[in-house]
Amino acid sequence: MKRRHTLLAGLGFATLGLTGCAVDTVPTRWYELRAEPPQSTPAARRGDGAVWEVAGTVRLPGALDRDTLVVASGASMVVPLTGHRWAEPLRDSIPARLVADLAVLRGEGLIWRGPAPSSVAVDKRLRVQIDALIADSSRRSLHLKARWWLSDERGNKAAPVLGEADVQVALADNSVDALAAGHRMAIWQLAQRIVGGGA
């Protein structure tokens, strides 16, 4: 009988422990970079009609190469927002959205994500690196700092066109949803800067 009471008491503590864990668990909320551009799209500007191949990857800082959304804190910290995660890692979604945005801005058939099919005559190759993409601690604005290299593949030995973007995106409010939407706006604005500098 004593052994049975001990067993029941143990089960009771185990159940209590599991209940405590359930109460402390933070529900996961998922966010994505929406496929559609966040603003109305202007008429495509074809510029010189050159076909661009965009590198299949975009270099990101380590803080962004994770599933959890982060914000800046203090002089040099980044803080993960527990329970708020990207549905698709930014290393995958940023290149996809950037290529799609460039195609909207330049015109269909002029933008290919690398490697382009062998049947496509590539005129220029674009590489992009994001050095910063993070909100301030109060989540009022998102800072994007990026560089890109657009090299001419037509055999004229021209030096690559180098470009930089330093953009502040105002966030609608300090919600995490607005933070995620700010990331999408930043990529759209980056695509506009690249087209403006490389067309």
Q: What confidence tens digit (pLDDT) does each residue in 154-176 have?
A: 877 778 889 999 999 999 999 99
Find the DSSP H helices in the chain: 2-24, 90-106, 176-198
- Contact call for residues 139 and 172 (beta carbons, < 8 A): no
Determine the Cα–Cα distance for residues 113 and 131; give it in Å rounded to an integer: 21
- Contact call for residues 126 and 103 (beta carbons, < 8 A): no
Average pLDDT, the chain: 87
pLDDT band at residue 108 under the 50/70/90 scheme: confident
Task: List the domains of the chain with CATH numbers.
Answer: 29-198 (3.40.50.10610)
Of the candidates 126, 104, 123, 132, the one whose C-alpha atom is nearest the C-alpha of residue 113 is 126
pLDDT at 181 over 90: yes
Percentage of the chain exceeding pLDDT 90: 70
Q: How many CB atoms lie within 10 A of CB 71?
A: 20
- The per-residue pLDDT for range 79-103, each reduced to its tens digit, is 999 999 999 999 999 999 999 999 9
Give the bridge partners for 59, in sequence order. Answer: 129
| pLDDT score, position 198 | 64
